[in-house]
């Protein structure tokens, strides 16, 4: 399935779903039983999709807004916002390194967040206390941990949870009314009968985020967990193309958008990266 957006004077005026679903399969590429297939009527414009790692782009927009407001700085050590972050040699990890991925983290938390922790609070603390695989600034490795940490920074600096901040400063002003994080009740009400299509795994149900670490954190996290429609994703993209503005609403200054497309990883050939975006 592909989507076509038509823009006029900086806004999206129409959009279409193009193509057909040719196969329904599970994680092993085995054809699904008819009872486990999502109804074809949902495979069009009103479908709400799990954006997985594209959630990092939403977190990036919120981060750029705080940079504009002077609440954080690219070269600020994360420990200036989260004092306990310095454990395990992380005192030289900066906001810039989180956004461009030479922070030094391994790809995922160890042990995984969905096992071995007694509570939500314990899982959040485990993220902050993770050690490093590499020295900061020496190796490019794209870890979810960077944006998990970025969420903690934003929530401490702003004083509200990421899902509330996202709606207040980004999706709300742009009237992206079909964009949610799975924790929100008004999202759940749209799908009253979750369908499991991955056997006994709890991570394969509609409505629930399919990223295991985000799932274990109630579906709200900086690296995964956002669910928009194709139209709402189109609004996001058009806002970037308009240098931070959509219609009469400005989300970012044009200088901030420039930072998305500026390569901060020139010392890592083949890994060109703006703030939060691969380029």
What is the reported pTM?
A: 0.81
Tens of pLDDT along the chain (279 residues) come to 566 656 656 666 566 566 666 666 655 667 766 666 655 444 556 677 777 778 899 999 999 999 999 999 999 999 999 988 988 889 999 999 999 999 999 988 888 888 878 888 898 898 999 999 999 999 999 888 999 999 999 999 999 999 899 999 999 999 988 777 655 444 443 433 333 333 334 444 555 556 677 677 666 677 777 777 778 888 899 999 999 999 999 999 999 999 999 999 999 999 999 999 998
**CA separation for the pair 184, 246 (Å, rounded):** 25
Q: Which burial class, exposed, middle or buried, applies to 40 when counting CB atoms under 10 A from its CB (0-12, 13-18, 19+)?
A: exposed
Q: Cα(105)–Cα(90) distance, rounded to whole angstroms?
A: 9
The encoded tokens of residue 227 equal 């669910």
Domains of the chain: 2-260 (3.40.710.10)
The answer to whether the peptide bond before residue 62 is cis (omega within 30 degrees of 0) is no
Which residues have a Cβ under 8 Å from the Cβ of 187 and sit 6 or more positions away?
Answer: 48, 180, 181, 207, 227
- For the packed helices 144-158 and 55-68, what is the interaxial angle rounded to 10 degrees? 40
């Amino acid at each position: 399935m592909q989507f076509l957006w038509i823009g006029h004077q900086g806004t999206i005026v129409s959009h279409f779903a193009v193509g057909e679903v040719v196969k329904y399969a599970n994680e092993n590429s085995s054809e699904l039983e008819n009872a486990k297939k999502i109804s074809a009527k949902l495979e069009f414009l009103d479908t709400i999709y799990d954006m997985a790692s594209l959630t990092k782009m939403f977190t990036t927009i919120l981060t750029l807004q705080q940079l504009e407001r002077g609440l954080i700085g690219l070269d600020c050590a994360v420990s200036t916002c989260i004092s306990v972050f310095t454990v395990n040699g992380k005192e030289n990890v900066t906001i810039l390194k989180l956004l461009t991925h030479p922070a030094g983290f391994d790809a995922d938390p160890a042990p995984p967040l969905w096992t071995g922790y007694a509570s939500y609070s314990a899982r959040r603390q485990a993220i902050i206390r993770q050690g490093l695989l590499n020295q900061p600034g020496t190796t490019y490795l794209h870890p979810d941990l960077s944006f998990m940490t970025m969420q903690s920074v934003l929530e401490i600096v702003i004083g509200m949870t990421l899902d509330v901040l996202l709606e207040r400063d980004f999706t709300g002003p742009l009237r992206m009314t079909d964009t949610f994080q799975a924790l929100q009740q008004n999202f759940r009400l749209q799908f009253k009968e979750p369908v499991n299509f991955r056997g006994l795994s709890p991570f394969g149900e509609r409505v629930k985020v399919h990223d295991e670490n985000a799932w274990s954190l109630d579906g709200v996290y900086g690296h995964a967990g956002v669910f928009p429609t194709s139209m709402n994703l189109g609004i996001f993209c058009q806002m970037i193309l308009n240098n931070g503005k959509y219609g009469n609403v400005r989300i970012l200054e044009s200088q901030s958008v420039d930072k998305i497309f500026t390569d901060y990883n020139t010392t890592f050939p083949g890994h060109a990266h703006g703030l939060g975006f691969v380029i």
